[in-house]
Structure 1
Amino acid sequence: MNELAITVIGPDRTGIVAEVTTALAGAGANLSDSTMTRLRGHFAMTLICTGASVEDVEKALLPLGGMLATVRAVEPSAAEEPGEPYLVSVHGADRLGIVAAVTRVVAAAGGNVTDLTTRLTGPLYVLVAEVDLPPGAAADLSVRLDEAARDLGVEVTLRRAESDVL
Protein backbone atom coordinates (compact mmCIF):
# COMPACT_ATOMS: atom_id res chain seq x y z
CA MET A 1 0.00 0.00 0.00
CA ASN A 2 1.15 3.55 -0.76
CA GLU A 3 2.55 5.20 2.38
CA LEU A 4 3.17 8.94 2.71
CA ALA A 5 5.22 10.96 5.20
CA ILE A 6 3.65 14.40 5.68
CA THR A 7 4.85 17.41 7.68
CA VAL A 8 2.86 20.57 8.35
CA ILE A 9 4.43 23.58 10.06
CA GLY A 10 3.19 27.12 10.61
CA PRO A 11 1.78 29.65 13.04
CA ASP A 12 -0.54 28.00 15.55
CA ARG A 13 -4.23 28.81 15.40
CA THR A 14 -7.47 27.33 16.65
CA GLY A 15 -8.83 24.55 14.43
CA ILE A 16 -5.65 23.71 12.57
CA VAL A 17 -5.70 20.00 13.45
CA ALA A 18 -9.28 19.78 12.20
CA GLU A 19 -8.37 21.64 9.00
CA VAL A 20 -5.37 19.44 8.21
CA THR A 21 -7.07 16.14 9.01
CA THR A 22 -10.21 17.14 7.10
CA ALA A 23 -8.08 17.98 4.05
CA LEU A 24 -6.27 14.65 4.33
CA ALA A 25 -9.50 12.68 4.66
CA GLY A 26 -10.92 14.53 1.65
CA ALA A 27 -7.89 13.44 -0.37
CA GLY A 28 -8.41 9.82 0.69
CA ALA A 29 -5.40 9.77 3.02
CA ASN A 30 -5.96 7.44 5.98
CA LEU A 31 -4.02 8.61 9.04
CA SER A 32 -2.05 5.71 10.54
CA ASP A 33 0.52 7.42 12.77
CA SER A 34 1.00 11.02 13.86
CA THR A 35 2.49 13.44 16.31
CA MET A 36 1.42 17.05 16.75
CA THR A 37 2.61 19.81 19.03
CA ARG A 38 2.89 23.54 19.55
CA LEU A 39 6.40 24.96 19.76
CA ARG A 40 6.57 28.56 21.00
CA GLY A 41 3.49 29.60 19.06
CA HIS A 42 4.22 27.45 16.02
CA PHE A 43 2.29 24.33 15.09
CA ALA A 44 4.23 21.23 14.00
CA MET A 45 2.70 18.00 12.77
CA THR A 46 4.21 14.85 11.32
CA LEU A 47 1.98 12.11 9.94
CA ILE A 48 2.13 8.80 8.15
CA CYS A 49 -0.88 8.21 5.89
CA THR A 50 -1.92 5.55 3.41
CA GLY A 51 -4.31 5.37 0.48
CA ALA A 52 -3.63 8.63 -1.37
CA SER A 53 -1.11 9.91 -3.87
CA VAL A 54 1.52 12.56 -3.17
CA GLU A 55 -0.14 14.82 -5.73
CA ASP A 56 -3.64 14.47 -4.22
CA VAL A 57 -2.38 15.25 -0.71
CA GLU A 58 -0.28 18.22 -1.85
CA LYS A 59 -3.32 19.61 -3.67
CA ALA A 60 -5.56 19.09 -0.61
CA LEU A 61 -3.11 20.88 1.72
CA LEU A 62 -2.45 23.80 -0.62
CA PRO A 63 -5.41 25.92 0.64
CA LEU A 64 -4.03 25.91 4.21
CA GLY A 65 -2.72 29.47 4.17
CA GLY A 66 0.47 30.28 6.02
CA MET A 67 1.42 26.63 6.45
CA LEU A 68 4.42 24.83 4.99
CA ALA A 69 3.45 21.28 4.05
CA THR A 70 5.72 18.59 2.63
CA VAL A 71 4.60 15.24 1.32
CA ARG A 72 6.73 12.34 0.19
CA ALA A 73 6.23 8.66 -0.52
CA VAL A 74 8.03 6.32 1.87
CA GLU A 75 8.50 2.59 1.99
CA PRO A 76 6.46 0.84 4.67
CA SER A 77 8.85 -0.15 7.43
CA ALA A 78 9.24 -3.68 8.65
CA ALA A 79 8.17 -4.30 12.22
CA GLU A 80 11.15 -3.83 14.50
CA GLU A 81 11.88 -5.86 17.57
CA PRO A 82 11.08 -3.44 20.36
CA GLY A 83 13.61 -2.97 23.10
CA GLU A 84 12.88 -2.44 26.75
CA PRO A 85 10.97 0.87 27.19
CA TYR A 86 12.56 3.52 29.42
CA LEU A 87 12.12 7.22 30.15
CA VAL A 88 15.06 9.59 30.37
CA SER A 89 14.34 12.93 32.05
CA VAL A 90 16.75 15.80 32.35
CA HIS A 91 16.30 19.13 34.06
CA GLY A 92 18.61 21.98 34.91
CA ALA A 93 19.92 25.30 33.74
CA ASP A 94 19.73 25.79 29.98
CA ARG A 95 22.97 25.38 28.12
CA LEU A 96 24.15 24.47 24.66
CA GLY A 97 24.44 20.76 23.85
CA ILE A 98 22.18 19.08 26.41
CA VAL A 99 20.12 17.15 23.83
CA ALA A 100 23.21 16.24 21.81
CA ALA A 101 25.10 14.91 24.83
CA VAL A 102 22.21 12.90 26.27
CA THR A 103 21.18 11.35 22.96
CA ARG A 104 24.82 10.45 22.15
CA VAL A 105 25.01 8.52 25.43
CA VAL A 106 21.73 6.74 24.69
CA ALA A 107 22.87 5.85 21.16
CA ALA A 108 26.24 4.57 22.43
CA ALA A 109 24.30 2.16 24.69
CA GLY A 110 22.38 0.86 21.67
CA GLY A 111 19.25 2.78 22.66
CA ASN A 112 16.74 4.12 20.18
CA VAL A 113 15.02 7.43 20.99
CA THR A 114 11.35 6.92 20.07
CA ASP A 115 9.99 10.23 21.37
CA LEU A 116 11.66 13.37 22.69
CA THR A 117 10.26 16.59 24.08
CA THR A 118 12.10 19.62 25.42
CA ARG A 119 10.85 22.79 27.07
CA LEU A 120 12.56 25.94 28.21
CA THR A 121 10.70 27.64 31.04
CA GLY A 122 12.60 30.67 32.18
CA PRO A 123 16.08 29.42 33.07
CA LEU A 124 14.92 25.79 33.53
CA TYR A 125 15.48 23.37 30.66
CA VAL A 126 13.54 20.08 30.68
CA LEU A 127 14.05 17.09 28.38
CA VAL A 128 11.89 13.95 28.43
CA ALA A 129 12.74 11.10 26.08
CA GLU A 130 11.18 7.71 25.55
CA VAL A 131 13.85 5.21 24.58
CA ASP A 132 13.97 1.53 23.69
CA LEU A 133 17.03 -0.16 25.19
CA PRO A 134 18.61 -3.51 24.46
CA PRO A 135 17.90 -6.03 27.22
CA GLY A 136 20.21 -5.50 30.17
CA ALA A 137 21.56 -2.11 29.00
CA ALA A 138 19.79 0.09 31.56
CA ALA A 139 22.27 -0.21 34.46
CA ASP A 140 25.30 0.79 32.35
CA LEU A 141 23.31 3.55 30.64
CA SER A 142 22.30 4.97 34.01
CA VAL A 143 25.97 5.28 35.03
CA ARG A 144 26.90 6.93 31.71
CA LEU A 145 23.95 9.34 31.93
CA ASP A 146 25.03 10.33 35.45
CA GLU A 147 28.52 11.12 34.10
CA ALA A 148 27.06 13.23 31.27
CA ALA A 149 24.75 15.01 33.71
CA ARG A 150 27.67 15.97 35.94
CA ASP A 151 29.54 17.38 32.92
CA LEU A 152 26.44 19.36 31.87
CA GLY A 153 25.48 20.51 35.37
CA VAL A 154 21.97 19.00 35.12
CA GLU A 155 19.96 16.30 36.85
CA VAL A 156 19.05 13.12 34.94
CA THR A 157 16.86 10.14 35.74
CA LEU A 158 16.36 6.86 33.90
CA ARG A 159 13.36 4.75 34.77
CA ARG A 160 11.47 1.89 33.23
CA ALA A 161 8.43 3.15 31.30
CA GLU A 162 4.97 1.89 32.06
CA SER A 163 3.17 0.12 29.23
CA ASP A 164 0.64 2.21 27.35
CA VAL A 165 -2.92 1.27 28.09
CA LEU A 166 -5.26 2.00 25.20
Structure 2
Amino acid sequence: MKTLVATLIGPDKTGLVKQLAALIKQHHGSWQASAMSELAGHFAGIVEIRVPEEHSQALSRALTQLPEFQVQLVEGQGKAPQGQSLTLTVTANDRLGIIDEVTDILNSLNISVKTLKTDSHPAPVTGIMLFEAQSTLILPHGQTLGDLQARLEALSDDLVVDIDIA
Protein backbone atom coordinates (compact mmCIF):
# COMPACT_ATOMS: atom_id res chain seq x y z
CA MET A 1 0.00 0.00 0.00
CA LYS A 2 1.05 3.55 -0.69
CA THR A 3 -0.12 6.71 1.04
CA LEU A 4 -0.68 9.81 -1.08
CA VAL A 5 -1.46 13.29 0.15
CA ALA A 6 -3.27 15.45 -2.41
CA THR A 7 -3.86 19.18 -2.17
CA LEU A 8 -6.48 20.65 -4.48
CA ILE A 9 -7.70 24.14 -5.24
CA GLY A 10 -10.21 25.28 -7.83
CA PRO A 11 -13.44 27.17 -8.39
CA ASP A 12 -16.10 26.14 -5.88
CA LYS A 13 -19.15 24.35 -7.26
CA THR A 14 -21.58 21.69 -6.12
CA GLY A 15 -20.43 18.09 -6.49
CA LEU A 16 -16.65 18.55 -6.24
CA VAL A 17 -16.22 16.35 -3.18
CA LYS A 18 -18.43 13.65 -4.75
CA GLN A 19 -16.35 13.82 -7.94
CA LEU A 20 -13.15 13.43 -5.92
CA ALA A 21 -14.55 10.57 -3.81
CA ALA A 22 -15.72 8.69 -6.92
CA LEU A 23 -12.33 9.13 -8.60
CA ILE A 24 -10.49 7.78 -5.55
CA LYS A 25 -12.84 4.79 -5.30
CA GLN A 26 -12.60 4.09 -9.05
CA HIS A 27 -8.82 3.75 -8.67
CA HIS A 28 -9.08 1.42 -5.62
CA GLY A 29 -8.08 4.16 -3.20
CA SER A 30 -9.32 4.57 0.36
CA TRP A 31 -10.10 8.07 1.65
CA GLN A 32 -8.32 8.31 5.04
CA ALA A 33 -8.38 11.88 6.35
CA SER A 34 -9.15 15.29 4.89
CA ALA A 35 -9.72 18.98 5.49
CA MET A 36 -11.76 21.00 3.01
CA SER A 37 -13.12 24.53 2.86
CA GLU A 38 -14.69 27.12 0.62
CA LEU A 39 -12.59 30.27 0.78
CA ALA A 40 -13.37 33.40 -1.25
CA GLY A 41 -15.23 31.42 -3.93
CA HIS A 42 -12.61 28.71 -4.22
CA PHE A 43 -12.66 25.12 -3.01
CA ALA A 44 -9.47 24.18 -1.16
CA GLY A 45 -8.80 20.72 0.18
CA ILE A 46 -6.22 18.26 1.34
CA VAL A 47 -6.87 14.53 1.45
CA GLU A 48 -4.85 11.52 2.58
CA ILE A 49 -5.41 8.46 0.38
CA ARG A 50 -4.26 4.85 0.83
CA VAL A 51 -4.01 3.02 -2.48
CA PRO A 52 -2.53 -0.33 -3.58
CA GLU A 53 0.91 0.19 -5.12
CA GLU A 54 -0.25 -1.12 -8.52
CA HIS A 55 -3.00 1.55 -8.74
CA SER A 56 -1.08 4.55 -7.38
CA GLN A 57 0.25 5.87 -10.71
CA ALA A 58 -3.16 5.71 -12.40
CA LEU A 59 -4.78 7.48 -9.44
CA SER A 60 -2.04 10.12 -9.43
CA ARG A 61 -2.56 10.77 -13.16
CA ALA A 62 -6.34 10.99 -12.75
CA LEU A 63 -6.06 13.43 -9.85
CA THR A 64 -3.65 15.74 -11.68
CA GLN A 65 -5.97 15.76 -14.72
CA LEU A 66 -9.04 16.97 -12.81
CA PRO A 67 -10.41 19.87 -14.86
CA GLU A 68 -10.15 23.36 -13.32
CA PHE A 69 -8.10 22.10 -10.35
CA GLN A 70 -4.54 22.77 -9.33
CA VAL A 71 -3.42 19.49 -7.73
CA GLN A 72 -0.21 18.67 -5.92
CA LEU A 73 0.64 15.12 -4.80
CA VAL A 74 3.23 13.85 -2.35
CA GLU A 75 3.86 10.44 -0.81
CA GLY A 76 3.04 10.10 2.87
CA GLN A 77 5.97 9.91 5.29
CA GLY A 78 4.20 8.09 8.12
CA LYS A 79 6.00 10.09 10.82
CA ALA A 80 3.80 11.77 13.44
CA PRO A 81 5.20 14.15 16.05
CA GLN A 82 5.55 12.64 19.52
CA GLY A 83 4.06 14.23 22.62
CA GLN A 84 0.81 15.19 24.30
CA SER A 85 -2.13 16.23 22.10
CA LEU A 86 -3.81 19.53 23.04
CA THR A 87 -6.68 21.59 21.72
CA LEU A 88 -5.97 25.33 21.77
CA THR A 89 -8.54 28.08 21.19
CA VAL A 90 -7.38 31.69 21.04
CA THR A 91 -9.89 34.55 20.79
CA ALA A 92 -9.01 38.24 20.57
CA ASN A 93 -10.08 41.52 19.03
CA ASP A 94 -9.12 41.17 15.38
CA ARG A 95 -5.81 42.83 14.51
CA LEU A 96 -2.81 42.21 12.30
CA GLY A 97 -0.28 39.59 13.35
CA ILE A 98 -2.16 37.38 15.81
CA ILE A 99 -1.24 34.10 14.09
CA ASP A 100 2.35 35.28 13.62
CA GLU A 101 2.65 36.03 17.35
CA VAL A 102 0.99 32.77 18.44
CA THR A 103 3.05 30.60 16.10
CA ASP A 104 6.23 32.40 17.19
CA ILE A 105 5.55 31.17 20.74
CA LEU A 106 4.62 27.67 19.55
CA ASN A 107 7.80 27.48 17.48
CA SER A 108 9.98 28.67 20.38
CA LEU A 109 8.56 25.83 22.52
CA ASN A 110 8.95 23.23 19.70
CA ILE A 111 5.18 22.68 19.67
CA SER A 112 3.84 21.15 16.43
CA VAL A 113 0.61 22.39 14.85
CA LYS A 114 -1.43 19.40 13.71
CA THR A 115 -4.54 21.35 12.64
CA LEU A 116 -5.42 25.04 12.46
CA LYS A 117 -8.75 26.69 11.69
CA THR A 118 -9.25 30.45 11.88
CA ASP A 119 -12.19 32.80 11.49
CA SER A 120 -13.07 36.47 11.95
CA HIS A 121 -16.59 37.45 12.96
CA PRO A 122 -18.41 40.30 14.74
CA ALA A 123 -18.94 39.99 18.50
CA PRO A 124 -22.63 39.32 19.30
CA VAL A 125 -23.31 42.43 21.40
CA THR A 126 -20.73 45.03 20.37
CA GLY A 127 -20.17 44.11 16.74
CA ILE A 128 -16.40 44.49 17.21
CA MET A 129 -14.53 42.09 14.93
CA LEU A 130 -13.14 39.08 16.78
CA PHE A 131 -10.46 36.70 15.56
CA GLU A 132 -10.64 33.07 16.65
CA ALA A 133 -8.08 30.33 16.06
CA GLN A 134 -8.73 26.69 16.94
CA SER A 135 -5.88 24.25 16.68
CA THR A 136 -4.72 20.81 17.65
CA LEU A 137 -1.16 20.86 18.93
CA ILE A 138 1.47 18.31 19.92
CA LEU A 139 3.22 19.39 23.12
CA PRO A 140 6.67 17.75 23.20
CA HIS A 141 7.84 15.87 26.26
CA GLY A 142 9.39 18.29 28.74
CA GLN A 143 7.16 21.28 27.90
CA THR A 144 4.44 22.36 30.32
CA LEU A 145 0.91 23.63 29.71
CA GLY A 146 1.43 26.41 32.24
CA ASP A 147 4.37 27.88 30.33
CA LEU A 148 2.44 27.78 27.06
CA GLN A 149 -0.65 29.41 28.57
CA ALA A 150 1.32 32.13 30.37
CA ARG A 151 3.28 33.08 27.26
CA LEU A 152 0.15 33.21 25.09
CA GLU A 153 -1.83 35.27 27.62
CA ALA A 154 1.07 37.75 27.86
CA LEU A 155 0.59 38.66 24.18
CA SER A 156 -2.39 40.96 24.82
CA ASP A 157 -4.90 41.92 27.50
CA ASP A 158 -7.83 41.06 25.21
CA LEU A 159 -6.53 37.61 24.23
CA VAL A 160 -8.49 34.67 25.71
CA VAL A 161 -6.65 31.34 25.77
CA ASP A 162 -8.39 27.99 26.30
CA ILE A 163 -6.29 24.80 26.36
CA ASP A 164 -7.78 21.32 26.69
CA ILE A 165 -5.93 18.02 26.83
CA ALA A 166 -7.17 16.00 23.87
In structure 1, distance between residues paired with 2:38 and 2:144: 33
Structure 2: runs of 5 or more not aligned: 123-128
TM-score by length of 2: 0.80
Quick one: percent identity of the two aligned structures? 27
SS of the residue 1:149 aligns to: coil
Q: CA separation of 1:63/1:17 partners in 2, compared to 1, >3 Å: closer, same or farther?
A: same
Q: Which amino acid aligns with 1:101?
A: E
In structure 2, distance between residues paired with 1:140 and 1:37: 33
Q: CA separation of 1:3/1:23 partners in 2, compared to 1, >3 Å: closer, same or farther?
A: same
In structure 2, distance between residues paired with 1:137 and 1:57: 43
Post-superposition shift, 1:138? 0.3
Alignment partner, residue 146 of structure 1? 153
TM-score by length of 1: 0.80
Alignment partner, residue 77 of structure 1? 78
Q: How do residues 5-84 of structure 1 correspond to structure 2 at under 5 angstroms?
A: 5-51=5-51, 52-53=55-56, 55-61=57-63, 64-74=66-76, 76-78=77-79, 80-81=81-82, 83-84=83-84
In structure 1, distance between residues paired with 2:66 and 2:40: 20
Alignment partner, residue 144 of structure 2? 137
Residues 19-68 of structure 1 deviation map (CA, whole Å, 9 limit, x = unaligned) = 11111111222222222222233211111212232x41243235633221
In structure 2, distance between residues paired with 1:98 and 1:128: 13
Q: CA separation of 1:80/1:110 partners in 2, compared to 1, >3 Å: closer, same or farther?
A: closer
State the aligned residue count.
156
Q: CA separation of 1:50/1:9 partners in 2, compared to 1, >3 Å: closer, same or farther?
A: same
